Structure 1
Amino acid sequence: MLNMKWDELADKAITGGCLTTEEALMVLRADDDELLPLMQAAFKVRKHYYGKKVKLNMIINAKSGLCPEDCGYCSQSIVSAASIDKYVMLDKTTLVAGAREALARQAGTYCIVAAGRGPTERELKGVIEAVEEIRSTMPLKICACLGLLKDHQAQRLAEAGVHRYNHNLNTSSGHYASITTTHTYEDRMNTIHHAKASGMSPCSGVIIGLGESDEEIVEMAMTLRELDADSIPINFLNAIPGTPLEHAKPISPLKALKTLALFRLLCPAKELRAAGGRELRLRSLQPLALYAVNSLFVGDYLTTEGQDVEVDHGMIEDLGFEIERYAVPVQPEIAGVGLLQDAN
């Protein structure tokens, strides 16, 4: 009977219906013995919209540490005692070199991420100059994540060629003040709206494992559906020593998979990414995540290591899935400069 119910939820998602709160909670609380039928339902939706293609993204930590915000999960925050590298914004040459590395890893999207409340004028100009060169020489989609944005800053990034702006909600509205006090949930929502108004594609996701309830996980997924976020990274807390949340209780691999299935059923047509912490929280069940998600980060994250790129490529190949090589069309003038050949 439940097998039929999961299939009905998949059909509901494909035909434009929205799960009720009760149905969403049923997904999160599914019996472990129902995991495979549930993942098959998630895959039915994923395959309908994306086939068996996998989008790859690569992050460059463009500015590390030195952040005045007090986010309890973050090793770069002012309240963190974690041992990490700390440096100011990377120069243009380094940012452009990172884009070439993204191509070499078969990533279609290159994510420029900088810790801080928001970009200074100097930092903004540096990112814009790098983006303009990358856009003129490489077939990469560019995502920027520079903190809180003002509307005119969002417009400048869009004009420079940034395709997507990432600003995660991280947790539910009611839980937000328990993880961060130096800015608000509304501040984050405003930045997402600025990004959308500028014409950039909104990228916003969550961190699972911050002490939220099942009801709050459902709320997060519903909110991202309403925001119409195009790309949704699902992070799982990596409880880094030296951060306020270093002793947080980890979620199980099975709960992580149920969460990914829930987001696929509630946000059926969106790019759904298994993001930071997937290696730790999914462990040997990582391949199953691809039956719900259609996107992965490859390589390292911000201050934590990812698994080897070759392992991710092998996982995708072993499942019979296919890497989607280029997120933007390859222009003849770009292909002619030899960067594509150098990246292979």
Structure 2
Amino acid sequence: MLLDENIEHKKELRHDWSRQEITAIYNKPLLNLIYEAATVHRMWHKADEIQLSTLLSIKTGGCPEDCSYCGQAARYHTDIQVQALLPLDTVLDHARRAQANGASRFCMAAAWREVRDNRDFDRVLEMVSAINAMGLEVCCTLGMLTEDQAKRLQEAGLFAYNHNLDTSEAYYDKIISTRKFDNRLHTINNVRKAGMTVCSGGIIGLGETVEDRIAMLCTLSNMPQHPESVPINALARVEGTPLENLPKVRIWDMVRMIATARIIMPSTMIRLSAGRMEMEEEEQAWCFMAGANSIFTGEKETLLVTPNPGVSEDMAMLDNLGLKPMVKKD
């Protein structure tokens, strides 16, 4: 199938993308870019399916990191209330309701810098095992992991581990100073060694340049194995954080990021993540056309600690667009 500029797409994966190639894709005329991404999407995925994922904060606030975008950092003065690790039964109740509402993936997030070998980690392992037994894909984002901790999570039944790059290596220390970009890559490598799938993406709207966005996509697409899941987040401007006054991310910037990610990582689930609360239904439709095939939804209408559309609103949107929830494959 010949597309724009006589580029022929074959059903194969590349891990040798140059920044120049990715830049050329990102900067294509917008409608040509969307058309190409939509065509690639249909070669690799069912275009009428959207995976519904539910994300639950199982431990909220009090994080020692200084991520400039995050309202859960202890050093910033936000109205987010610190919450200890939730009881197992509470988490399982959330997972059951998520499954009843059509979610095929249940994600648990703890505001930790790193996992520690203690009773809290033991409780997380219990949660993973119990939710896996329900037939849901289980994902966690708990901060940095050692190789042994990753193995224990895998043995408990964890399907995926989320550890976002956030931004480019060059811009990383402008956003976070309490850990290094290499720490992110090290944790991702530990997840791979344990045999779990990787969920890793980033945030746009942090004050970065287009070159930083391209560099982040280049790092992801040139990994020996592409992340099975790449969340594309628009900055949620949390009052009290250093980035609270940055401008809203333009929808066409989100579309370009999603479309470019779809073309260079065709087998990956591209997740339209944070920022949907500020998008009209029509804007989200453009993101789906550009290759996004997953969203986070939930009963509490929050994504961790920021506003997010609720289940009923999302189901109505999918119905309007002729889309349906993806069913977990056995």
TM-score by length of 1: 0.88
In structure 2, relative to structure 1, the CA distance for the partners of 1:192 and 1:20 (3 Å cut) is closer
Contact 1:13 1:266 in 2 (8 A): no
Contact 2:59 2:86 in 1 (8 A): yes
* Distance of 1:50 and 1:323 partners within structure 2: 13
The residue number in structure 2 matching 1:4 is: 4
The residue number in structure 2 matching 1:301 is: 303
* Distance of 1:71 and 1:20 partners within structure 2: 28
The residue number in structure 1 matching 2:125 is: 128
String of CA shifts for 1:318-337, please: whole Å, max 9, x gaps. 222221122x42xxxxxxxx
* Mapping of residues 317-336 of structure 1, within 5 Å: 317-326=319-328, 328-329=329-330
The residue number in structure 1 matching 2:150 is: 154
Contact 1:105 1:298 in 2 (8 A): no
One-letter code aligned to 1:298: T
One-letter code aligned to 1:4: D
Equivalent position SS for 1:110: strand
String of CA shifts for 1:112-135, please: whole Å, max 9, x gaps. 100011123222111111121222
Q: Indicate whether 1:35 and 2:33 are aligned.
A: no
Equivalent position SS for 1:12: coil
Give the gaps of 5 or more residues in structure 2.
none
Which of 74, 81, 97 is the matching residue for 2:70?
A: 74
Of 181-190 and 304-313, the range deviating more from structure 2? 304-313
One-letter code aligned to 2:246: A
* Distance of 1:236 and 1:79 partners within structure 2: 23
Which of 40, 53, 70 is the matching residue for 1:45?
A: 40
* Mapping of residues 1-344 of structure 1, within 5 Å: 4-5=4-5, 8-9=6-7, 11-12=8-9, 14-16=11-13, 20-30=18-28, 34-52=29-47, 53-120=49-116, 121-136=118-133, 138-227=134-223, 228-280=226-278, 284-291=282-289, 292-299=291-298, 300-326=302-328, 328-329=329-330
String of CA shifts for 1:217-257, please: whole Å, max 9, x gaps. 11111111122211111111011110011112332111211
* Distance of 1:20 and 1:176 partners within structure 2: 20
* Distance of 2:35 and 2:229 partners within structure 1: 22
One-letter code aligned to 1:162: L
In structure 2, relative to structure 1, the CA distance for the partners of 1:156 and 1:16 (3 Å cut) is closer
* Distance of 2:296 and 2:131 partners within structure 1: 19
Equivalent position SS for 1:57: strand
In structure 2, relative to structure 1, the CA distance for the partners of 1:308 and 1:188 (3 Å cut) is same
One-letter code aligned to 2:275: G
* Distance of 2:32 and 2:169 partners within structure 1: 32
* Distance of 1:13 and 1:239 partners within structure 2: 40
One-letter code aligned to 1:133: A
Higher helix share: 1
Contact 2:61 2:111 in 1 (8 A): yes
One-letter code aligned to 2:321: L
* Distance of 2:137 and 2:243 partners within structure 1: 33
Contact 1:150 1:194 in 2 (8 A): yes
One-letter code aligned to 1:258: R
Give the C-alpha shift of residue 20 in structure 1.
4.8
String of CA shifts for 1:138-182, please: whole Å, max 9, x gaps. 110000110001111111100000011110000111111111111
Contact 2:139 2:160 in 1 (8 A): yes
Give the C-alpha shift of residue 84 in structure 1.
0.9
Equivalent position SS for 2:90: helix
Equivalent position SS for 2:306: coil
Give the C-alpha shift of residue 21 in structure 1.
3.1
**Number of residues of Structure 1 aligned to a counterpart in Structure 2:** 319
> Root-mean-square deviation (CA), in Å?
1.8
Equivalent position SS for 1:80: coil
One-letter code aligned to 1:253: I
Give the C-alpha shift of residue 16 in structure 1.
4.0
One-letter code aligned to 1:311: E
Contact 1:272 1:294 in 2 (8 A): yes
Equivalent position SS for 1:264: helix
One-letter code aligned to 1:12: H
- Give structure 1 regions of 4+ aligned residues with deviation exceeding 6 angstroms: none
One-letter code aligned to 1:92: L
* Distance of 2:31 and 2:316 partners within structure 1: 22
* Distance of 1:244 and 1:42 partners within structure 2: 34
Give the gaps of 5 or more residues in structure 1.
330-344
TM-score by length of 2: 0.91
* Distance of 1:320 and 1:182 partners within structure 2: 44
